[in-house]
């Protein structure tokens, strides 16, 4: 049994994909940025609005705290980016948070991170699509009027695309991401130019509204609590930052350095966009409320439930570019598209993490085979189902979904950074070179601060969001954790049960007499090509005894069979079992058991002729009794079951299908880098 | 291949059930009557109402035609009963309409009857439950307010009961059927006594309403058409009459005579009840309309959509016994119960017919094993699903469902009676004994009249009901017919493809070189008890070549395996396949294909160690790669696949479950009679 900390093995996980099949190329930074940053950059589409939304609880006056909250988010962002730059250098193999936590903090921590990440992937899909729909809806009202329907439709569409195995290209990510980033920057620049140089007064569509504070004049602890809650919401901007640390092998050389640079670039862009949008929102007097229907006041009366609160980014764009202008619509479309791409990244990450967990026997072993379509599909469907469920339950409302989102992210941030501290400690214990030592000490300091800060944020998020929905995410994590622990326990128990005794010819099968001969039994229903082939093969096997066996379900047919048997002069004795109740399985099982009882030193080899057909519906029409009998025979000790297939003409169709299925390649390959590269790459962690 | 007309075989179908397991007993007439008559007798609960409903189209004045329609129904009933008494004597084996039609008119006619019967079973469930709910609803308003929900709930309940395999007893049928029959007779007698002797004026709750005729003053062809439509609806009373002819073996001796007597008894009861209810309905002035909301007038205004039109039987009971009286409630409950029992008979008939059709290869072969729980369950679920669908589509409205019902019944009546005419013709051609001849001629005359009359009714039903819903039933029949034909064609094609060439050692496998040696390959992943057992068994097989095969998915593990292999001194060569892309299936398949290419005279025996576990969720965790590999290997010519099972401790649980499942007995046994009896019974048709 392999140990969990068996790093070289985990490094090999990256090796599964055939590069010539995927047409993979190493990513230059300009492509890597959009590929990895669609998730974290897209979160600036909803994070600023969430900050304003929470502050509005204390009335519009509380909005003046928003720059301070932005500063806190920026500091946090820099901390996290700096921390992950250390990860990138230390684990160029693309070891994600799961690997870092498992290697350095042990399997429980690793499993906690894995549970958090799995929940996170689900929420990435739900939140990104909900927010994408809301952004699209600011330009296309139909979409927002059928929010849940449209969001579910997008989930279904992404699911189908991923199940089919779309071929990805970096450009697919590049164009909308750059249009989005470019659009936001043009908006910030044009807004600044209009406001500062032209002196225009830009007004958001909600600028004239008043906010009815739910708690007027908050102060002291209550105010601090509210600000912390607003900060927690703003932290939504950090989701997805860790993605680059998983994707180092996809970068051009020098990989770690390029990845670190891209990480820094992404951090810079995200921070600028986040702050720019907050600043524009303050300038254009965007007004948002948690419950717009009652808390937004227009002309002295609440605005009512018919009102749709557009996202901050779209309100700002309307103020800067003008409602319905080309740039406004373009930005709305690009924002929605980037958010859908962000959701798509979860479709790649979820099954990949699943395969790593399967490798460590926390999930069914067959998921381990990456690129395996069936395993991949199961992961995709599970992810899509969970995301669709949340979308329907929470009415595709990004604000409500975000309450669940941030817990998981910070659980994995915190554990990963803590793991990195241990990592450096371990390396410092053996490293002698002073230059390397000082670099390690610096890295350790950064990761320590990162661990501390993200841990603090985790506590803040838990305290301020628990009742707002974070408990759902925690519950999800617990379910994943418990399930995976149970699976691992099962595998361990079985491994124990089947482990071979040391002495090679010792008491294997000590509960049974060791068989020394084989008695073969060929099951016959009629004489046709499949049974003749099975008989021919059985004869080749030269077992110690050979007989043909048929069950007398229908005396007339049995009689005909016997006659044909003799007429053809088949030189294998034909044994007929009576079955007064027209059963097939039971008489055969009983006969085999009796054979074993009579000569316990014989192993019984039951040989079953089978048709192989090409379509599932044909399968329903054939072999069902054989299948059932096989299933039952496997429970009988001392028996082996041999299928002798006879390929019907229609089986060609299935063969072609199977071949086609093997050519299939799992989506998400671009982010993971070429197979060969991952395998060759030496790893600092390979200790 | 067996012929369709192979009667002895079909007779054996009755032999499947172990009598000591079922505790079966032969049925005395007093128990047989309720067992078989719950279906036909229960139809008097809705048939009279349907007649009045149709007549109301021409206004209340048309009600005076109802006695004439009753007379027509009575004549038809006597005809059908007399005809089936001939069937009972001619086919004491319990051959149903399908057998009679197939044997005498050929497979197409038989398949048409089978399709009609399958549709009929579905409609028996839908109509009986809808009507049962309506009758129950006349006493318990909640039920009628949630009609679709309650009807679906009853379907689900019956389905679950039948899936579990309830043990039936004749008494289960006897009590409610006798209460129902007794109740109706008491009602008729008490009504007659009150009306004729006491001179009471009994008034139905709807007596004061007027009916707005949709077509006032109908005459000529239109009137005849309406009367024929009313007659068609009244024919609903005949559904289920054929049931006894399937159940002859369940009767005490003399079987045929007792069955015929019971049939006559049932006809007499049904006719009396039908006429009695019509008469009471006329006396108490029951008013029913096709569209009560608009066509029933109370105090000059239409009654509106809130009105619930209670069944005739309940309105009459209210008039005779008084609303809410004990007898009224008892009769409503007994009526509902008998109708649910009638629905339950379809749950027995549907899978039984399925097993007969599977025997003739019109349905998947595994359905043939009667009492097989899985096959039985599939039939039950299909039946329940179709019935539930119809219930929801037609809003559990018995009147709308009945439009679909009668076509199928009369298709099988007509074909069965026509078949009987042929049957007698054939027997008359060889029979010499004048006494027997004259009996046969009499029987033929009865069946001829039956065939003619039921055929006429079929035409009438088709003409008058086609647009009202009969097309749905016909469509259903066509779908069943087409599916079954396709299945049969597939089986025939496969039988052709696999039929053995005549010369015993001729050109079997002519497309391939005939193998003369076996090369065995044992698949190894790790060394543990299952693989050691597989190796030990493989060695016993004495094949011409033996090697162990492993796929190098993980170099570290492979190295460990190699070392252990040597350390243990296993005397089988270990071949390692490289798999740079972490696949298992493809390298093995390619290796096996190469072996075949190198030595075409070798058959390859692939031996796979398998774990056997006890729970389905454990199954998800094991053997998945082995299963997939097995599936692929079966498509490779010249390969046989052997599973060497290793029973884990948990497999005991599955063994126990399997044993328990075998003890299970299919419902509907009471009606079919004991197994032994069916087998022994000689048959006139055994020619």
Residue A170 has pLDDT above 80, yes or no: no
Chain A interface test: which of B555, B578, B645 (most A C-beta within 10 Å): B645
Are B415 and B272 in a shared domain?
yes
Residue A667 has pLDDT above 50, yes or no: yes
Residue A233 has pLDDT above 80, yes or no: yes
Does residue B445 sit at the A interface (CB-CB below 8 Å)? no
Give this complex's ipTM: 0.72
- Give the C-alpha separation, A547 to A573, whole Å: 5
Q: Kindly state the tokens that stand for A222.
A: 């209550």
- Would you state the pLDDT for residue A661? 62
Of B515, B581, B621, the CB nearest to A491: B621
Does residue B541 sit at the A interface (CB-CB below 8 Å)? yes
- Would you state the pLDDT for residue B12? 34
In this prediction, residues A417-440 reach a mean pLDDT of 92
User: Is residue A129 a contact partner of residue A339, using CB atoms and an 8 Å limit?
Assistant: yes
Residue A186 has pLDDT above 60, yes or no: yes
- Give the C-alpha separation, B198 to B192, whole Å: 9
- Would you state the pLDDT for residue A5? 37
Radius of gyration of chain B (CA): 32
- Across chain A, what does the average pLDDT equal? 83
User: Is residue A454 a contact partner of residue A415, using CB atoms and an 8 Å limit?
Assistant: no
- Would you state the pLDDT for residue A662? 59
Residue B508 has pLDDT above 60, yes or no: no
Angle at the Cα of B173 from the Cα atoms of B168 and B179, rounded to 5 degrees:
155
**How many domains, chain A?**
2
- Would you state the pLDDT for residue B510? 45
What pairing do the DSSP bridges indicate for beta strands A301-302 and A296-298?
antiparallel
- Give the C-alpha separation, B226 to B591, whole Å: 77
Q: How far is CA B256 from CA B102, B241, B354, in A?
A: 21, 16, 25
In this prediction, residues A152-167 reach a mean pLDDT of 82
Nearest to A312 by CA among A292, A342, A341: A292
Does residue B29 sit at the A interface (CB-CB below 8 Å)? no
- Give the C-alpha separation, A159 to A388, whole Å: 11
Q: Kindly state the tokens that stand for B120.
A: 């009929």
B618:A568 CB<8 A = no
What pairing do the DSSP bridges indicate for beta strands A574-578 and B296-298?
unpaired
- Across chain B, what does the average pLDDT equal? 83
Positive or negative: CA dihedral A475, A477, A480, A486: negative
B611:A536 CB<8 A = no
Burial A398-436 (b: 16+ CB within 10 A, else e): bbbbbbbbbbbbbbbbbbbbbbbbbbbeebeeeeeeeee
Which comes out higher in pLDDT, residue B184 or B291? B184
- Would you state the pLDDT for residue B254? 84
**% of chain B residues with pLDDT over 70:** 87
Asked if the structure places residue B111 within a domain, the reply is yes
pTM of the model: 0.70
**DSSP bridge partners of A606:** A521, A641
User: Within 10 Å of residue B209's Cβ, how many Cβ atoms?
Assistant: 21
Going by pLDDT thresholds of 50, 70 and 90, the confidence category of residue A509 is very low
Name, in order, each residue with C-beta under 8 angstroms of B52's C-beta and a sequence gap of 6 or more. B63, B66, B281, B286, B288, B312
- How are strands ordered across the β-sheet holding B210-211? B210-211, B296-298, B301-302
**Residue showing tokens 């607003």:** A230
In this prediction, residues A651-663 reach a mean pLDDT of 69
Which residue on chain B is closest to A504 by alpha carbon? B568
Which comes out higher in pLDDT, residue B295 or A183? A183
Asked which of A1-5, A185-189, B517-521 is least confident by mean pLDDT, the reply is A1-5
Of A557, A654, A662, the CB nearest to B586: A662
Name, in order, each residue with C-beta under 8 angstroms of B209's C-beta and a sequence gap of 6 or more. B287, B296, B297, B298, B303
CB-count burial class (<10 Å; 0-12, 13-18, 19+) for A199:
exposed
- Would you state the pLDDT for residue A320? 92
Please give, rounded to a whole number of angstroms, the shortest distance from the CA of B15 to a CA of chain A: 7
Residue A308 has pLDDT above 80, yes or no: yes
- Would you state the pLDDT for residue B677? 41
Going by pLDDT thresholds of 50, 70 and 90, the confidence category of residue B119 is very high
Does residue A572 sit at the B interface (CB-CB below 8 Å)? no
A582:B369 CB<8 A = yes
B500:A658 CB<8 A = no
Name, in order, each residue with C-beta under 8 angstroms of B617's C-beta and a sequence gap of 6 or more. none
Asked which of A95-109, B87-101, B598-612 is least confident by mean pLDDT, the reply is B87-101
Please give, rounded to a whole number of angstroms, the shortest distance from the CA of B538 to a CA of chain A: 10
In this prediction, residues A156-160 reach a mean pLDDT of 89
Asked if the structure places residue B196 within a domain, the reply is yes
Asked which of B66-75, B352-361, B668-677 is least confident by mean pLDDT, the reply is B668-677
User: Is residue B672 a contact partner of residue B678, using CB atoms and an 8 Å limit?
Assistant: yes
Which comes out higher in pLDDT, residue A36 or B456? B456
Does residue A364 sit at the B interface (CB-CB below 8 Å)? yes
Q: DSSP readout, B642-661?
A: EEEEEE-TTHHHHHHHHHHH
In this prediction, residues B454-481 reach a mean pLDDT of 91
**DSSP bridge partners of B211:** B296
User: Is residue B490 a contact partner of residue A615, using CB atoms and an 8 Å limit?
Assistant: no
Does residue B485 sit at the A interface (CB-CB below 8 Å)? no
Angle between helices A47-55 and A220-234 (to 10 degrees): 170
A536 vs B contacts (CB less than 8 Å): 508-509, 514-515
Q: Which residues of chain B from 314 to 353 reach within 8 Å of chain A, CB to CB? A: none
Asked which of A454-458, A618-622, B491-495 is least confident by mean pLDDT, the reply is A618-622
B651 vs A contacts (CB less than 8 Å): 635
- Give the C-alpha separation, B262 to B274, whole Å: 18
Provide the H-helix boundaries in B146-238. Answer: 147-164, 170-192, 220-234
User: Is residue B112 a contact partner of residue B415, using CB atoms and an 8 Å limit?
Assistant: yes
Interval A89-106: pLDDT, tens = 888 876 688 889 999 999
Asked which of A18-22, A238-242, A333-337 is least confident by mean pLDDT, the reply is A18-22
Identify the domain boundary among B456, B474, B491: B491
Q: Kindly state the tokens that stand for A535.
A: 């008989």
- Would you state the pLDDT for residue B429? 92
Asked if the structure places residue B672 within a domain, the reply is no
Nearest to B40 by CA among B236, B254, B277, B293: B236
Asked if the structure places residue B12 within a domain, the reply is no
**% of chain B residues with pLDDT over 90:** 37
Q: DSSP readout, A549-579?
A: EEEESSHHHHHHHHHHHHHHT--SPEEEEE-
Please give, rounded to a whole number of angstroms, the shortest distance from the CA of A365 to a CA of chain B: 6
3-class DSSP state of A67: helix
Residue B95 has pLDDT above 70, yes or no: no
A105-109, A168-172, A173-177, A617-621: which has the highest mean pLDDT?
Answer: A105-109
Q: For residue B257, what is the domain's CATH number?
A: 1.20.1740.10
Residue B646 has pLDDT above 90, yes or no: no
B635:A645 CB<8 A = yes
- Would you state the pLDDT for residue A1? 37
Asked if the structure places residue B512 within a domain, the reply is no
B500:A527 CB<8 A = yes
- In degrees and rounded to multiples of 5, residue A85 shows phi and psi of -60, -30
Asked which of A53-62, A128-137, A653-662, B246-255 is least confident by mean pLDDT, the reply is A653-662
- Give the C-alpha separation, A9 to B582, whole Å: 12
In this prediction, residues A593-619 reach a mean pLDDT of 84
Of B531, B634, B645, the CB nearest to A645: B634
- Give the C-alpha separation, B443 to B447, whole Å: 6
Which residue on chain B is closest to A507 by alpha carbon? B529
Are B483 and B542 in a shared domain?
no
Asked if the structure places residue B668 within a domain, the reply is no
Are B422 and B523 in a shared domain?
no
- In degrees and rounded to multiples of 5, residue B606 shows phi and psi of -95, 125
Which comes out higher in pLDDT, residue A185 or A305? A185
Name, in order, each residue with C-beta under 8 angstroms of A310's C-beta and a sequence gap of 6 or more. A134, A137, A138, A205, A318
Name, in order, each residue with C-beta under 8 angstroms of B668's C-beta and a sequence gap of 6 or more. B168, B345, B347, B348, B349, B351, B352
- Would you state the pLDDT for residue A575? 93
- In degrees and rounded to multiples of 5, residue A457 shows phi and psi of -60, -40
Are B533 and B471 in a shared domain?
no
B515:A540 CB<8 A = yes
Does residue A388 sit at the B interface (CB-CB below 8 Å)? no
Q: The domain containing residue A644 runs over which residues?
A: 517-651
Provide the H-helix boundaries in A92-169. Answer: 97-105, 107-139, 141-145, 147-164
Q: For residue B536, what is the domain's CATH number?
A: 3.40.50.620
Going by pLDDT thresholds of 50, 70 and 90, the confidence category of residue A304 is confident
B622 vs A contacts (CB less than 8 Å): 365, 494
Q: How far is CA A31 from CA A25, A490, B314, in A?
A: 11, 43, 78
- Give the C-alpha separation, B34 to B357, whole Å: 27
A555 vs B contacts (CB less than 8 Å): 12
Q: Kindly report the length of chain B.
A: 687
Asked which of A231-245, A313-327, A402-416, A440-454 is least confident by mean pLDDT, the reply is A231-245
Interval A339-361: pLDDT, tens = 998 998 888 788 878 878 888 88
CB-count burial class (<10 Å; 0-12, 13-18, 19+) for A145:
exposed
- Would you state the pLDDT for residue B669? 58
- Would you state the pLDDT for residue A666? 56
Distance of CA B617 to the CA centre of its chain: 32
- Would you state the pLDDT for residue A46? 92
Chain B interface test: which of A543, A553, A634 (most B C-beta within 10 Å): A634
**% of chain A residues with pLDDT over 90:** 37
Q: Kindly state the tokens that stand for B218.
A: 């109908």
Asked which of A256-260, B57-61, B119-123, B340-344 is least confident by mean pLDDT, the reply is B57-61
Asked if the structure places residue B327 within a domain, the reply is yes
- Give the C-alpha separation, A10 to A12, whole Å: 5
Are A176 and A41 in a shared domain?
yes
- In degrees and rounded to multiples of 5, residue B547 shows phi and psi of -145, 160
- Would you state the pLDDT for residue B477? 94
Interval A447-504: pLDDT, tens = 999 999 999 999 988 988 888 888 999 999 999 999 999 999 988 988 888 887 765 4
Are B307 and B389 in a shared domain?
yes
Residue A508 has pLDDT above 60, yes or no: no
Strand residues in B530-671 grouped as ranges (E): 545-552, 574-578, 602-612, 639-647
Residue A416 has pLDDT above 60, yes or no: yes
Residue A203 has pLDDT above 70, yes or no: yes
Percentages (nearest 5) of helix, strand, coil residues in chain A:
70, 5, 25
Going by pLDDT thresholds of 50, 70 and 90, the confidence category of residue B334 is very high
Are B213 and B65 in a shared domain?
yes
Name, in order, each residue with C-beta under 8 angstroms of A420's C-beta and a sequence gap of 6 or more. A83, A86, A87, A90, A100, A104, A443, A444, A447, A450, A451
Are B250 and B375 in a shared domain?
yes
The DSSP call for residue B194 is I
Residue A220 has pLDDT above 50, yes or no: yes
A247-256, B190-199, B647-656: which has the highest mean pLDDT?
Answer: B190-199
What pairing do the DSSP bridges indicate for beta strands A545-552 and A602-612?
unpaired
- Give the C-alpha separation, A133 to A470, whole Å: 23
Residue B373 has pLDDT above 50, yes or no: yes
Residue B4 has pLDDT above 50, yes or no: no
Which comes out higher in pLDDT, residue B217 or A436? A436
Does residue B497 sit at the A interface (CB-CB below 8 Å)? yes
Are B593 and B475 in a shared domain?
no
- Would you state the pLDDT for residue B673? 56
3-class DSSP state of A454: helix
Asked if the structure places residue B241 within a domain, the reply is yes
Residue B599 has pLDDT above 50, yes or no: yes
Interval B153-179: pLDDT, tens = 999 998 888 877 655 666 777 888 999
Which residue on chain B is closest to A674 by alpha carbon? B581
User: Within 10 Å of residue B374's Cβ, how many Cβ atoms?
Assistant: 12
Residue A512 has pLDDT above 50, yes or no: no
Q: Which residues of chain A from 623 to 662 reach within 8 Å of chain B, CB to CB? A: 624-625, 628, 630, 632-635, 637, 639-649, 651, 654-655, 658, 662
A536:B514 CB<8 A = yes
In this prediction, residues A243-253 reach a mean pLDDT of 80
Name, in order, each residue with C-beta under 8 angstroms of A491's C-beta and a sequence gap of 6 or more. A361, A365, B621
In this prediction, residues A505-534 reach a mean pLDDT of 75
Q: Is the preceding omega at residue B254 within 30 degrees of 0, hence cis?
A: yes
What pairing do the DSSP bridges indicate for beta strands A639-647 and A602-612?
parallel
In this prediction, residues B219-226 reach a mean pLDDT of 84
Residue B19 has pLDDT above 80, yes or no: no
Identify the domain boundary among A366, A395, A424: A395
């Amino acid at each position: 049994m392999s140990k969990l900390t068996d790093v070289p093995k985990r490094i090999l996980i990256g090796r599964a994909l055939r590069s010539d099949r995927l047409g993979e190329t190493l990513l230059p930074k300009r492509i890597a940025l959009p590929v990895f940053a669609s998730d974290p950059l897209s979160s600036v589409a909803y994070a600023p609005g969430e900050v304003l939304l929470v502050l509005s609880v204390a009335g519009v006056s509380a909005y003046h705290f928003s720059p301070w909250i932005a500063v806190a988010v920026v500091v946090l962002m820099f901390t996290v980016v700096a921390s992950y730059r250390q990860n990138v250098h230390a684990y160029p193999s693309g070891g994600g948070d799961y690997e870092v936590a498992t290697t350095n903090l042990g399997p429980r921590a690793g499993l906690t991170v894995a549970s958090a990440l799995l929940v996170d992937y689900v929420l990435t899909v739900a939140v990104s699509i909900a927010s994408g729909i809301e952004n699209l809806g600011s330009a296309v009202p139909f979409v927002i009027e059928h929010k849940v329907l449209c969001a579910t439709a997008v989930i279904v569409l992404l699911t189908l695309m991923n199940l089919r195995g779309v071929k990805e290209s970096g450009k697919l990510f590049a164009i909308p991401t750059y249009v989005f980033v470019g659009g936001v920057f043009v908006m910030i620049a044009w807004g600044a130019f209009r406001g500062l140089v032209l002196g225009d007064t830009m007004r958001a569509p909600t600028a004239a509204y008043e906010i009815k504070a739910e708690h007027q004049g908050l102060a002291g602890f209550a105010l601090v609590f509210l600000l912390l809650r607003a900060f927690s919401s703003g932290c939504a901007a950090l989701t997805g930052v860790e993605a680059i640390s998983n994707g180092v092998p996809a970068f051009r050389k020098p990989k770690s350095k390029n990845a670190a640079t891209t990480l820094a670039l992404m951090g810079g862009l995200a921070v600028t966009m986040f702050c720019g949008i907050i600043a524009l929102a303050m300038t254009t007097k965007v007004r948002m409320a948690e419950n717009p229907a009652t808390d937004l006041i227009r002309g002295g009366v609440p605005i009512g439930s018919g009102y749709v609160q557009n996202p901050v980014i779209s309100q700002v764009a309307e103020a800067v570019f003008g409602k319905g202008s080309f740039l406004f619509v373009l930005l709305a479309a690009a924002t929605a598209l980037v958010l859908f791409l962000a959701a798509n990244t979860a479709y790649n990450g979820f099954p990949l993490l699943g395969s790593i967990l399967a490798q460590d026997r926390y999930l069914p072993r067959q998921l381990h085979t990456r690129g395996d379509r069936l395993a991949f599909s199961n992961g995709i469907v599970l992810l899509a189902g969970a995301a669709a469920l949340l979308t329907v339950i929470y009415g595709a409302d990004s604000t409500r979904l975000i309450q669940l989102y941030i817990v998981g992210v910070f659980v994995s941030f915190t554990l990963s950074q803590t793991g990195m501290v241990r990592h450096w400690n371990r390396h410092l214990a053996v490293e002698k070179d002073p230059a390397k030592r000082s670099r390690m000490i610096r890295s350790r300091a950064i990761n320590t601060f990162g661990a501390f800060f993200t841990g603090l944020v985790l506590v803040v998020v838990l305290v301020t969001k628990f009742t707002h929905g974070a408990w759902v995410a925690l519950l999800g994590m617990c379910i994943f954790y418990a399930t995976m622990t149970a699976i691992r326990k099962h595998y361990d128990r079985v491994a124990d049960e089947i482990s071979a005794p040391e002495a090679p010819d010792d008491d294997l099968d000590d509960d049974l007499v060791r068989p020394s001969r084989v008695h073969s039994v060929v099951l016959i229903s009629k004489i046709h090509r499949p049974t003749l082939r099975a008989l021919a093969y059985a004869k080749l096997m030269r077992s110690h005894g050979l007989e043909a066996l048929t069950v007398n379900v229908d005396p007339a047919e049995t009689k005909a069979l016997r006659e044909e048997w003799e007429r053809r002069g088949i030189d294998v004795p034909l044994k007929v079992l009576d079955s007064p109740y027209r059963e097939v399985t039971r008489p055969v099982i009983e006969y085999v058991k009796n054979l074993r009882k009579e000569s316990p030193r014989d192993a019984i080899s039951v040989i079953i002729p089978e048709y192989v057909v090409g379509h599932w519906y044909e399968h329903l029409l054939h072999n069902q009794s054989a299948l059932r009998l096989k299933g039952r025979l496997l429970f009988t000790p001392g028996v082996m079951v041999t299928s002798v297939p006879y390929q019907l003409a229609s089986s060609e169709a299935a063969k072609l299908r199977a071949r086609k299925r093997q050519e299939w390649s799992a989506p998400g390959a671009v982010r993971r880098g070429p197979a060969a590269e991952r395998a060759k790459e030496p790893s600092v962690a390979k200790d």
